[in-house]
């Protein structure tokens, strides 16, 4: 294996590259976050051609990404850390300009819940990332796939695979037909389920309304939520759809007593803010009922689908 080398970055700041003794997060712009508190990466080094070690720190408490009893890291934290890793590498290793818009196409994660426990100090996961299938447009990278092995110490606690593309601001605006966070109206927020019905402590973190039909609930899109809408967006973010899949599972009388251990998500198109999104549990995903499939629909289109594998508690 060739020696590690620091990644090139924008002039914003240099990335810390030492694997021990991290003192700061990476610049928040490099992971498309407005809040430093929601920036979980602390550095990265290249370890070979299209392979990288990405360093992170996980908080011991968080309103959404740590369990209400502060004992366990949530699957959403794994997903968000992996998402940030891809964004960081795109900007620092694949010359994607700041200001480009990223589109999450696929996300698959597998977790070991028994190993995602909160300890007496913030966890410092290491993500071993391998990039594949770099797509070129006009000779420049326009998307890629990557896989990540998430380690705590020497133990793998999660794995992930991601497919993402990106585009310039001008092209994005044409694709969106002029829709922006400032111009798209937002639907009124429907009432939510009781927080304990979906495994949450706060009503502000409930993303599902009561069922209007068996297995069908409206997504609650609160654009004032400080985590899902860390900055203004003109569409429903992918992490909100993933959290909705988790809450569908928790609220389901059949699967609510089981623990999610894997997610296989496809993001088909943008979920719009001015149309209701309907979350549906559509079918069991295994012969023994050990999984569910959750879809998000707007009008007659499926915008998101996620197979969730589970195990008994």
| Length of the chain, in residues | 313
CA dihedral (28, 29, 31, 35) positive or negative: positive
Under CATH, which architecture does the 5-174 domain have? Roll (3.10)
Q: How far apart are CA 35 and CA 39, in angstroms?
A: 7
Q: Do domains 5-174 and 183-312 have the same CATH topology?
A: yes
Q: What is the pLDDT of residues 130-160, one digit of tens each?
A: 999 999 998 899 999 999 999 999 999 999 9
Pick the CATH number of 183-312 from 3.40.50.2020, 3.40.50.11540, 3.30.70.20, 3.10.129.10: 3.10.129.10
Q: How far apart are CA 190 and CA 217, in angstroms?
A: 11
Nearest Cα to Cα of residue 62 among 73, 53, 51: 73
| pLDDT for residue 271 | 97
| pLDDT for residue 23 | 64
- Burial (CB count within 10 angstroms: exposed 0-12, middle 13-18, buried 19+), residue 64: buried
Q: How far apart are CA 247 and CA 210, in angstroms?
A: 12
| pLDDT for residue 77 | 97
Q: Would you kindly state where each structural domain of the chain is located, as residue ranges?
A: 5-174, 183-312
Mean pLDDT lowest for which of 2-11, 69-78, 91-100, 205-214?
2-11
Confidence band (pLDDT; 50, 70, 90) for 167? very high
| pLDDT for residue 284 | 61
pLDDT at residue 5 is higher than 60 = no
| pLDDT for residue 311 | 85
Q: Between 283 and 118, name the one with better pLDDT.
A: 118
Q: What is the pLDDT of residues 185-233, one digit of tens each?
A: 999 999 999 999 999 999 999 999 998 888 899 999 999 999 999 999 9
- Contact by Cβ (8 Å): 83, 65: no
| Three-class SS of the chain | CCCCEECCCCCCCCCCCCCCCCCCCCCHHHHCCCCHHHCCEEEEEEEECCEEEEEECECCCCCCCECCCCCEECHHHHHHHHHHHHHHHHHHHCCCCCCCEEEEEEEEEEECHHHCECCCCCECCEEEEEEEEEEEECCEEEEEEEEEEEEECCEEEEEEEEEEEEECHHHHHHHCCCCCCCCCCCCCCCCCCCHHHHCCCCHHHCCEEEEEECCEEEECCCCCCCCCCCCCCCCCCHHHHHHHHHHHHHHCCCCCCEEEEEEEEEECCCCCCCCCCEEEEEEECCCCCCEEEEEEEECCEEEEEEEEEEEEC
Model's pTM, two decimal places?
0.91
| Mean pLDDT for all residues in the chain | 89
| pLDDT for residue 258 | 82
């Amino acid at each position: 294996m060739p020696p590690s080398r620091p990644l090139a970055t924008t002039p914003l700041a240099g990335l810390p590259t030492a694997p021990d003794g991290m003192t700061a997060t990476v610049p928040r712009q490099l992971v498309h976050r407005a809040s430093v508190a929601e920036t979980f990466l602390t550095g990265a080094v290249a370890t070979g051609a299209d392979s990288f070690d990405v360093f992170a720190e996980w908080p011991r408490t968080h309103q959404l990404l740590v369990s209400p009893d502060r004992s366990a890291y949530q699957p959403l934290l794994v997903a968000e850390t992996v998402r940030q890793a891809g964004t960081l590498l795109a900007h620092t290793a694949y010359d994607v300009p700041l200001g480009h818009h990223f589109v999450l196409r696929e996300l698959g994660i597998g977790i070991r819940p028994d190993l995602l426990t909160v300890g007496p100090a913030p966890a410092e996961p290491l993500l071993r990332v391998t990039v594949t299938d770099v797509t070129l447009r006009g000779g420049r990278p326009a998307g890629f796939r990557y896989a990540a092995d998430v380690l705590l110490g020497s133990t793998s606690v999660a794995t992930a695979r991601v497919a993402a593309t990106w585009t310039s601001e001008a092209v994005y605006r044409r694709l969106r037909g002029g829709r922006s966070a400032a111009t798209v109206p937002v639907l009124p927020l429907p009432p939510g389920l009781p927080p304990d019905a979906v495994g949450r402590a706060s009503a502000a973190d409930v993303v599902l309304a009561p069922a209007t039909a068996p297995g069908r609930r409206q997504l609650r899109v609160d654009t004032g939520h400080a985590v899902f809408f860390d900055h203004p967006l003109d569409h429903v973010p992918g992490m909100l759809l993933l959290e909705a899949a988790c809450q569908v599972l928790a609220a389901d009388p059949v699967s609510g007593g089981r623990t999610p251990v894997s997610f296989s998500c496809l993001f088909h198109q943008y979920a719009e803010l001015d149309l209701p999104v309907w979350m549906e549990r559509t079918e069991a995903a295994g012969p023994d009922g050990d999984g569910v499939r959750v879809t998000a629909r707007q009008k007659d289109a499926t915008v998101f689908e996620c197979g969730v594998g589970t195990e008994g508690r």
